[in-house]
Each structure stands twice: as structure tokens, then as C-alpha cells.
Structure 1
Amino acid sequence: AAEGYYDIRRVAAQRDSVLRQWALLTGLVGARRTRLEQNLALQKVFQEMVYMVDWMEEMQAQLLSPECGQHLVEADDLLQKHGLLEGDIVAQSERVEALNAAALRFSQLQGYQPCDPQVICNRVNHVHGCLAELQEQAARRRAELEASRSLWALLQELEEAE
């Protein structure tokens, strides 16, 4: 200790400096982790939106079928299958609304925003538009199938009347 190797004030000051820098570093790492988690959560929502749009495109392909039935039983069967499709669309539309709400929450964050709010709004509008288009197509398809069923029912009644 006589040589001055153990200057307690200098050692304590260096220790305090290291502890302050460590606290700053852990704070920065924590903030970075939070930003990365927000970004990951938003990317997961975006990926779910892509899956939903893909699903809606598959449903539209089914709804564009020209098949309306060759007789009353087939028309009834197609109407029943269409009812199941409509049920799927209703169930998935709830999921779409939940996804859109989750995405919009990211556009209203204060401070760090994982994505430009306009990009988020554009994606939400796109998914919402795809859903509206799918619902319109389902309504048109139902009208076609009901018209076909009515025609076959009428033809069957005429046949029975003869």
C-alpha cells in the first residue's frame, strides 16, 4: 500500500463509473429488446394477414364455380355446401377484424413505431377490402344457387303436374 497501487478513491471512482455504464448499457439493451419484440409482433400480424388474404383468394376461387346443379337434389346439395362456406367466411371475418384491430394498435404507438403507420393502414384497408369482396361474391353465389334451386323445383312441379 506504501507504493500507492491501491488508491481507494480512484478504484471506487472507476467502480462507480463501470456500474453507471453497466446500468446504461442494460437500459439500452432492454429498450432495444422492447423495440424488437414490437417489430416481431407486428410482423406476425402482417404474416397472419397474408395467410388470411391467401385463404380469401382460395374461397373466391370456390365461389366462382359455374356449377349450379343439374337437378333439384344437386342444387340443394350445392346450397347446403355454400351455407358451410358462408359459415367459414363469417368465422374468418371475426378473425380478420381482430387482426386489423391488432395491426391498427401498432399505428397508434407513442415513441418508437415498428412501421410507418400509413403502411399499416394500407394493409388493413387491403385485407378489409378483400373480405368485403369475398362477402359480396358469396352473396352473389347464394343468389345464383337459390335461383337454380327455384328453377329445378319449378321444373319438378311441372313434371309432377303432367
Structure 2
Amino acid sequence: MSATSSPTYEQIYLKAKNGFTGDATVWDQIFQYIRLHPNELFYISPNRAWSIGHQIVYHGNLKLLQTLLSLYNERNPIDIQSKTKDTSNPKTILDIANERKGRFSEQYEYIKHLFDQDKFNQACKTYDWATVDNMLERDPRLLNEKPPYRLNYFIHYLVLYG
């Protein structure tokens, strides 16, 4: 990749797939690419089964994942529940984090809680109060939390609901 040409999706995907190989700039290159092409974090090209996002989680780069999530919002949405194209068993980033939790336990806990925040926020958004109540019983922390890519907290939905 030269200084004058932008990397292709395939070049960045291979960097994510190979993970940290001694080149300290690999993860920064991935961040810069996704910053310019946010729709490609969970894009899966026709000749691949996983996305760049799935590869980042596989390699346990929680810091990069958290930084990337901050790029998204209501106008630039993200679907963290995107699945791989594994033919026998498609996986979300939570599934991958669960498989790798022996090595990256902090990442697993973060992603598990992120999925709960996402589900809770969606239930609030659709005024699904039964789900909201059930989730708050299990985890009261959700009351004052939201995923980094969402605008509203629980209180905002209460005000909107009236």
C-alpha cells in the first residue's frame, strides 16, 4: 500500500484476518479504512465468510472494536448482530467472543453486555415495556446505559412515550 493509493477492501480484510503480525500499524490502518468506509465493517465479500468486524473480534482487539463503534450513530447505523456466512453455523460477534472467551474474557463480557444494551435500547425504541421490565430485573445497570452508537437513553424513550 503506497502513500498515494488507498487500500482496497481485500487488502484491509487480509490485515484483519492475519491480525497483528509484528506491524504495529496494522490496526491503525484498519481503523482508518473503516473510518472512511463505515459500511464495510460488517460487509462480507462474495469470496469470504467473515467480515472485518468478525476478524477483529476473533483476534481480541477490544480497544479497536470500541473505537470503531464510536463512529456509528442513528444516521450512520450499525448492525452488531450481523452474522458470518459460515455455511453450517453463522456466527455473530457475540458467538465469536464466546468461543474465544478463554483467551479474551474482557472482550466477551463487553460484547455480551453490548448485545444486552442493544436489545434493551431497541425494546425502549419500540415501547416493548414487557421486555424492558424483564431486562431491568436481570440487569438494573441498563437503566442508565446505551450502546455507543445509539443516541437515546431509557429516560428519553419515557419522555417520548409520555
Superposed pair shares fold, TM > 0.5: no
Using the size of structure 2 for normalisation, the TM-score is: 0.27
Greater Rg by CA: 1
Name which structure has the greater RCO, CA cutoff 8 Å, separation 6+.
1
TM-score (norm 1): 0.27
